[in-house]
Chain A
Amino acid sequence: MKKVFILFVLFFLSTFSVPAGNHVKEGFQDTCFSVAREWVISQEGGINLDNVGHLLELTEYLQTTGICD
């Protein structure tokens, strides 16, 4: 069960590749992701395993606000 979950997480991580401003993950609009990433980096100094979940939550929230596309 744990291995299945790990595989799921790895798949999940592998589905969003990359750098700033580029398309990140289907369903996530890149500008909101970029804004969220900038906010997380401002708060925590970088993106890491501990805050990547929060980055995704923040992206989802920003998508509902209209402050980014």
Chain B
Amino acid sequence: MKLLHLKIYLVFIFLGCQFLYSQESYRVVYKITEPKMQGNMESLGEDGKQFFKKAFEYAKDLKYVLTTTQEESFFKLEDVLEKGDETPLEDILLKTAKRFTSFKNRVYIDINKNKIVFEKNLINKNFIVQRKQYIFNWKIKNATKKILGYNAKLATGEYYDEVVNKNKEVTAWFIPSIPIPIGPDIFMGLPGLIAEVEIEGAVVTMIEINSSKTLEIQKVDTSEAISQKDFNELIGGLNKKLNDIIDN
């Protein structure tokens, strides 16, 4: 009888821990640890090389913040920049630095409802888009490494970037011991928090993580959001026009 009571007691403790864990929210800070030039920098003149040397420094100062629970998440560039007042040079360096990741301005994800809402800048106009979550067809590999003391596993994936109309590859390191299927920008769907992603223009790595029970998850206002279908039509038309211009 005592053994039965002990078992019931342990089950309640286990369920209690699960409940508490499921309420956990995290604030995760990422930074660009490796900006990458996708073209040939050797062809640039000295001015260009100096410009990108500075842009690299700016890129490495950029920080992105993810707040997430098991149910939803919000991702954006950190508000505070430490470059002082923005001169025209600082402004264009900052814009160039952001191009290494080409992340969306803001991303809200409702994990269980298969919904993602993001703000994307196209030709200097911000669009808010509400659509289904991206599909990455992740393949989990055997490789592991430590990130901030956590054991992270390697995964590779591929997704369709509708803006540039092509499939892109992504490499991610995720932390199985933090079972939240979220990461920076649109990247998600792995059995653990994504601690690092490598995309075409940069490696972005988690540099700080804090857990809390009181974090508020911001949302992206959907009152002016356009649907995935409308967004695809918009960028389809613009891409066709742009390709016509480039081809001619």
Q: Chain A residues in contact with chain B, CB under 8 A?
A: 2, 5-6, 9-10, 12-14, 16-19, 35, 38-39, 41-54, 56-58, 61, 64, 67
Contacts and interface: CB of A to CB of B under 8 A. Distances in A.
Given A9-B125, A10-B237, A57-B124, 13 more contacts: A2-B230, A5-B125, A6-B234, A38-B44, A43-B52, A44-B201, A45-B200, A47-B246, A49-B164, A56-B123, A56-B124, A58-B92, A61-B89
B248 interface: yes
B241 A45 contact: no
Contacts of B85: none
B88 interface: yes
Given A38-B48, A61-B92, A6 B237 contact: yes
Interface of B: 37-41, 43-44, 47-48, 51-52, 55, 88-89, 91-92, 95-96, 99-100, 102, 121-125, 161, 163-164, 200-201, 226, 230, 234-235, 237-239, 241-242, 245-246, 248
Contact of B123 (A9, A14, A58): A9
B44 A42 contact: yes
Contact of A16 (B38, B40, B89, B245): B245
A58 B89 CA distance: 10
Contacts of A44: 38-39, 99, 102, 200-201
